[in-house]
Amino acid sequence: MTTRDKQLTSAQEAMQAGRFAEGLALTGALLESAPEDGEALYLAAVAARYLADFPAAEAYLGRLHAAMPEYGRAWQEAGHLALAQGHEAAALAAFQRATRFNPALVASWREQARLLAAAGREGEANHAAFQQQRLSQLPRELVAVTNHLAEGRLLRAEEICRHYLRTSTVRDANHVEGMRLLARIGIEFGVLEEAEFLLESALAFQPGDVQLRLDYIDVLRRRQSFAKARAEADKLYERDPASPVFQSRFAIESMAVGDYDRGLELFDKVLEKLPNDPSNLTSKGHALKTTGAREEAIESYRAAIAAKPDHGDAWYALANLKTYRFADDEVERMQAQAARGDLAFMDRVHIAFALGKAHEDRGDFAASFAAYSEGNSLKRAQTRYSADAMSEELARQREACTRDLFEQHAGSGHDAPDPIFILGLPRAGSTLLEQILASHSQVDGTLELPNILALAHRLRGRRIGENRYPQVLHDLTADQLGKFGRDFIENTRIHRAGAPFFIDKMPNNFRHIGLIQLILPNARIIDARRDPMDCCFSGFKQLFAEGQEFTYGLTEVGRYYADYVTLMNHWDTVLPGKVLRVQHEDVLDDLEGQTRRMLDFLGLPFEPACLDFHKTARAVRTASSEQVRQPINRKGQGAWKPFAPWMDELKAALGDLAPQNR
């Protein structure tokens, strides 16, 4: 046990014995050396409240909220402190926020039930009382799992949950809840296949459990099994078509399979009942943006902000249009929210990136870089990304995917010529290339499809920590490779509109060109490449929904770009002529020439519509959706140069690829 742990234990023991002054003194000593220690701040706030030193308790909680804005127990203590001072409205708000961040807090549910009942809000009071009762009836192990999961202690949560499931049986009333929680842990770890299996099995035991089905839809969506997710959402909707929760979920899943009319219709139904709901207003804005209804999307995002001024998702959605310019009063409102100590984590992240864009548009590059840096630092601290681990992973591709491997499996795989893979790094111009090619009558544009990444993950092995891929490629049979290729064609059919060819523009597929060659040897591959400084800095400025964790630091994104170039050089060596490299700057210089070059590579005749790509009416779901609806321009070229004073870290990571070394 560390000295810090001993001090905290002594403080806890003193407070449990009612010696609050002693407990406060012990935590105060710890805070002198570690002023942002969350546990110490929490105990100090509790001790100060019991000593009736309310200003001190509020000060400790203020520091704790600033350091850990989504720490549920801190908000529960804020509720107790408000009650101690007779501020019941503030107490209720704090207890509600506590359970939003940590649904295992029984005391917060109990106080909500009491306060809501006293206010005559019977329906909400009944819900809170139900949650309190549900937690009270759960085994203490599962309450502990819920608490550890909410507070980010995933390994401990998994350990307790697996032990509970080993010692219980499926006939135990709470066994299914244990399976659900283990699936949630798996989702946090990114082990989505196991999470899907657990939830599917749990639903076989309790098909009527709404929360199980919502979690199942969530994991299907994360795996981008959009058709299955929509079918599950439809089951909930058919159960109660008037439920705003089920309407909203069905709308989201309808959008995911391209049924935009149905999705927007459902969002409107939700908003008839909940006209000021910020989440649904924002989701509707995303839907409108995807279909090209820019002004309507802006209106929906602004309505979400009006309903909830700290709704960072909507602020960033405006910035992420790329073509939107914030008014002065909007910048001031964002800055006011960013100054709040109690701003939720993701709201702070979203607003930081939005402010970065707003300041950049105004030419205040120092303030812009500071805002982008804050957002990236917050996200980087949240991830488990390691540049060293990624370098090792890409090196394993070079070691395993040799010329001998491809000669060994010559003639294997599925012979379909349908797929066109556009890959590389995000923000490298792949959406532009997709829009150009999808404007051709024989090519369907689809999505950033997850199928290749999911197959690679499956080949790693089922157990956490196991990694048999890519070495396992040497052990696969011709029958297996053929089946993988046929499955890819079949499973992606839902995204197609009937053209002979279709595009998968998942950028991360560059890591798996060897796998693509083995299962789909006739597939075409285009490497979308952009100037390294422009590409990396554009990635640094972009807040991705998920999957691009290497962008949250200049060193990380620079190293990733360099590793990408090294791996692409390897593919050129072992699979000569397999990949067509298209430089973004060349497309800007000669749109028609590069378009004809791509079409020749694909074996397709030239069509003038490809040059009028910005007039093509199709849904575009990436961050570049608004940009590719405009004629070609050079707005992004050299965008890093005004930020040059802060780019040394990126240049160092790029090495020989950086401007001064080329």
pLDDT (tens digit per residue) in 598-640 = 999 999 999 999 999 888 764 554 444 445 446 676 777 899 9
Average pLDDT, the chain: 91
d(CA 41, CA 60): 6
Measuring CA to CA, how many Å separate 436 from each of 110, 387, 591, 616, 619?
A: 58, 33, 10, 9, 14
d(CA 94, CA 109): 11
Q: Cis before residue 500, ω within 30 degrees of 0?
A: no
Name which of 422, 441, 426, 429 is nearest 616 in CA terms. Answer: 441
In the structure encoding, which two tokens stand for residue 634, read together? 């050079």
Q: Is residue 145 part of a domain?
A: no
Q: Is residue 261 part of a domain?
A: no
Question: What is the tally of structural domains in the chain?
Answer: 2
Name the region of 363 (left: φ>0; alpha: ψ -120 to 50; beta: rest): left
Q: How confident is the model at residue 463 (pLDDT cuts 50, 70, 90)?
A: low
Q: Is residue 152 part of a domain?
A: no
Q: Is residue 633 part of a domain?
A: yes
pLDDT for 618 equals: 47
Last residue of a domain, one of 137, 171, 190: 137
Last residue of a domain, one of 137, 169, 196: 137
In the structure encoding, which two tokens stand for residue 356, read together? 């970065």
d(CA 350, CA 312): 5
d(CA 366, CA 74): 34
Name the strands in the sheet holding 443-445, side by side, starting at the edge strand that comes first in the sequence: 443-445, 501-504, 419-424, 524-529, 579-583
Average pLDDT over residues 575-591: 96
Q: Is residue 187 part of a domain?
A: no
Name which of 63, 30, 29, 32 is nearest 45 in CA terms. Answer: 63
Element counts in the chain: helices (H) and strands (E): 33, 5
Name which of 396, 395, 384, 550 is nearest 460 in CA terms. Answer: 396
| pTM for this prediction | 0.80
Of 423 and 169, the one with more pLDDT: 423
Name which of 295, 321, 357 is nearest 625 in CA terms. Answer: 321
Q: Which helix (H) or strand (E) holds 176?
A: helix 175-189
d(CA 26, CA 45): 13
Orientation angle between helical segments 226-239 and 244-256, nearest 10 degrees: 160
- Structural domain that includes position 30: 3-137
pLDDT for 628 equals: 47
Task: Using alpha carbons only, give the angle 378, 383, 386 rounded to the nearest 5 degrees.
Answer: 120
Measuring CA to CA, how many Å separate 651 from each of 179, 424, 642, 659, 662?
A: 47, 20, 15, 8, 11
**Type of residue found at 173:** A
d(CA 183, CA 191): 9
Contact 430, 420 (CB under 8 A): no
Average pLDDT over residues 449-453: 88
Indicate which CATH number applies to the domain containing 47. 1.25.40.10
Q: Is residue 147 part of a domain?
A: no
pLDDT (tens digit per residue) in 186-212 = 888 877 888 999 999 999 999 999 999
Q: How confident is the model at residue 464 (pLDDT cuts 50, 70, 90)?
A: low
Name 490's Cβ contacts closer than 8 Å, sequence gap at least 6: none
Q: How confident is the model at residue 466 (pLDDT cuts 50, 70, 90)?
A: low
**Type of residue found at 271:** L
Give the largest CA-CA distance in the chain: 84
pLDDT for 467 equals: 81
Name which of 193, 251, 259 is nearest 222 in CA terms. Answer: 193
Q: How confident is the model at residue 258 (pLDDT cuts 50, 70, 90)?
A: confident
Q: Is residue 239 part of a domain?
A: no
Q: How many CB atoms lie within 10 A of CB 407?
A: 9
Average pLDDT over residues 643-647: 97
d(CA 297, CA 544): 19
Last residue of a domain, one of 137, 167, 194: 137
Average pLDDT over residues 122-151: 92
Indicate which CATH number applies to the domain containing 607. 3.40.50.300
Q: Tell whether the model's pLDDT for residue 661 goes beyond 60.
A: no
pLDDT for 630 equals: 61
Name which of 172, 165, 208, 210 is nearest 186 in CA terms. Answer: 165
Of 528 and 632, the one with more pLDDT: 528
Range scoring the smallest mean pLDDT among 187-196, 237-246, 271-280, 581-590: 187-196
In the structure encoding, which two tokens stand for residue 123, read together? 């329906």
d(CA 155, CA 178): 15
| Alpha helix ranges (H) inside 413-503 | 430-438, 451-460, 478-491
Q: How many CB atoms lie within 10 A of CB 639?
A: 16
**Which residues on neighbouring strands pair with residue 423, listed in sequence order?**
527
Name which of 341, 343, 367 is nearest 354 in CA terms. Answer: 367
Q: Is residue 154 part of a domain?
A: no
Average pLDDT over residues 468-476: 94
Average pLDDT over residues 316-340: 95
Sequence-ordered strand ranges (E) for 281-409: none
pLDDT for 61 equals: 94
What spatial distance separates the first Cα and last Cα of the chain, rounded to whole Å?
52
